[in-house]
A and B are shown apart, each in its own frame.
Chain A
Amino acid sequence: MAKVSRKEQKAATQQHLVETALEFFAARGFANANTADFAKAANVSHGAVFLHFPTREALVMRVLDAFGDRLSAAFNAAMEGEARLERVLRAHVDVLSEYELFYSRLVQEGALLPKKARSLLFMLHASVSRRLRLAAEAEAAAGAMREIAPHLLFNTWIALLHHYIANRDIFAPGESVLAAKGDELIAHFLNLLKK
């Protein structure tokens, strides 16, 4: 059996902590989560958590970063070839649906996150806004869509999504609200923009 180097072991542990953190914050939220309980959930010592993430905020930043990577990967796949707004919206809904409970915590607690983490969350939003803008501009140039200011394009879409996600227990009790309503929201948003 190949010997695992310390570097590889460290990377594997960190990956395990990040994956656990995505589930842990989804289940517990950010405000009520402490690192001692996180260590138990990850089945590692409290010291091991601090070895990788010296502060709770560092763990939150890393998990947001990992979530951002997944968003980017989904958008990159959606934007290969011709950039179509519908594909971008679909990719957004699909990746948020996969991490819906985690993302619902960000929707509900985003304003209470430490400043640096909140800034990163808004940077992730900026990246989504950029993808929407690129796709919408291409379709507006082709004459198929109305032109709309980039920040309003994004804010209109995200307000719609966030309302459903924040109230997911009412819109789709016991199931993924984005799986249940995603098609309807995408169709509605595209209809608003149609020329």
Chain B
Amino acid sequence: MTIKCVSCGSCGFPMEKPEDFALGDPSQPYCRYCTDTGGRLLPYETVLDTNARYYVESQGVSSSAARGMAAALLASMPAWRDRPSA
């Protein structure tokens, strides 16, 4: 049984529709939230902030806990796992 959908190589967001991908292009490795209007990956701190905010808005967890969880997840993502300080 395989239902695996493609997920963003930066934040893990499941990319199910073309508009979920950077530039609306399903061949792109990252989602629209992790990229700028040219499809380039945003800086780590920006992606971290976006992900932390997602935890806070969706579940009301504290900002510091949200930031810690976002950092833990990003550390395993292809875009960030080789980051020196990760």
Binding site for B on A (CB under 8 A): 15, 19, 61, 66, 68-70, 72-73, 76, 115-116, 118-120, 122-123, 125-127, 129-130, 133, 149-152, 154-155
> Chain A contacts of B76 at CB under 8 A?
61, 116
The interface of chain B, by Cβ under 8 A from chain A, is 1-5, 12, 14, 16, 54-61, 68-70, 72-73, 75-76
By a CB distance below 8 angstroms, the chain B residues around A122 are: 55, 59, 61, 69
Cβ-neighbour of A125 out of B16, B56, B58, B75 (below 8 A):
B58
**Cβ of B55 to closest chain A Cβ, rounded Å:** 6
Separation in Å of the A63 CB from the closest CB of chain B?
13
The 9 nearest A-B residue pairs measured at CB:
A151-B60, A129-B58, A119-B69, A126-B58, A119-B72, A73-B3, A119-B73, A116-B72, A69-B3
Please, which residues of chain B bring their CB within 8 A of the CB of A152? Answer: 60
**A47 nearest CB across to chain B (Å):** 23
* Pairs across A and B, CB under 8 Å, 28 listed: A15-B1, A66-B4, A69-B14, A73-B5, A76-B16, A115-B68, A115-B72, A116-B73, A116-B75, A118-B69, A119-B69, A119-B70, A119-B72, A120-B12, A122-B55, A122-B59, A122-B61, A123-B12, A123-B69, A126-B59, A129-B59, A133-B58, A149-B60, A150-B58, A151-B58, A151-B60, A152-B60, A155-B60
Given A61-B76, A151-B60, also A126-B1 (CB < 8 A): no
> In the complex, which residues of chain B have a beta carbon less than 8 angstroms from the beta carbon of A15?
1-2
Cβ of B58: which chain A residues have Cβ within 8 Å of it?
Answer: 125-126, 129-130, 133, 150-151, 154
One of B1, B16, B56, B68 near A72 (C-beta < 8 A): B16
Assembly CA distance A76 to B61 (angstroms): 26
In the complex, the chain A residue whose C-beta lies closest to that of B56 is: A151
Q: Is A150 in contact with B57, judged by CB distance below 8 angstroms?
A: yes
Q: How far is the CB of A164 from chain B (nearest CB, A)?
A: 19
Q: Which residue of B lies closest to A15 (CB)?
A: B2
CB distance from A119 to the nearest CB of B (A): 4
Residues on A with beta carbons closer than 8 Å to the beta carbon of B2: 15
Complex CA distance for A91 and B72, rounded to whole angstroms: 29
- With a cutoff of 8 Å between Cβ atoms, the chain B residues found around residue A19 in the complex are 1
Contact of B73 among A69, A73, A123, A125 (CB under 8 A): A123
